[in-house]
Amino acid sequence: MLICVPDVLSKADVADFRRVMDACDWEDGRSTAGAQSALVKKNQQLPPDGEVSRQLGNRVVSALTASPRFISAAIPLQIFPPLFNRYAAADGHHFGLHVDNAVRGDRLTGLRIRTDLSVTLFLSEPDEYDGGELMIEDNFGSHEIKLPAGDLVLYPASSLHLVTPVTRGLRVASFFWLQSMVRDAHVRSLIFDLDTAIQALVERLGRDDPETVKLTGIYHNLIRIWADV
């Protein structure tokens, strides 16, 4: 399941993030890469344990919890502290084909999660850079993702993916992982489809329509069956 979530951050928030990040020192992005990923990773990132990363990360998490579409798609149990990276054309930055680690641990909090979903939150507008597409492979082929600043994409952390070389400008993003309450990706997709259909009915019939109420009850009872909390 690959799902885009628009307007997680406002344009004003993105501009403020970029202002803060532009004033920071950046480090080699390989510092948080696994053994295999480090071989194909060439970018920069904010120091993950630094004060700026933590403050901006907390703002990202607050925005996520206010996004109904994100909550519906992810059904998050734990969200890894967001990280921030950039790809510069001048330095030939890219990230070759890789798969994310199955488990991530945070040195500051001791949090350990199973990475069910990977998230990329775009902080550059598409016209700010050439290249830099997020390419995600699944059973249906390869998908090219390049979203407006403030939008994010959710995709299975088990997917092979890459970031194509940036040939002009600067690509800035936040990236992180989460553990879902619903471990099974197929089940999670069905629950998301059910919730999307319910919300469409709510808009047409109202939240107090008997059939809408019944379907909402079914949705929550399915969560009770499948949630791993």
* Amino acid (1-letter code) at residue 194: L
Please give the model's pTM, rounded to 2 decimal places.
0.94
Q: Is 219 exposed, middle or buried (0-12, 13-18, 19+ CB in 10 A)?
A: middle
Positive or negative CA dihedral for 76, 80, 84, 86? negative
pLDDT tens digit sequence for 65-77: 999 999 999 999 9
pLDDT tens digit sequence for 102-140: 999 999 999 999 999 999 999 999 999 999 999 999 888
Q: What is the pLDDT of residue 35?
A: 72
Percent of the chain beyond pLDDT 90? 92
Q: Which two tokens stand for residue 213?
A: 């109420």
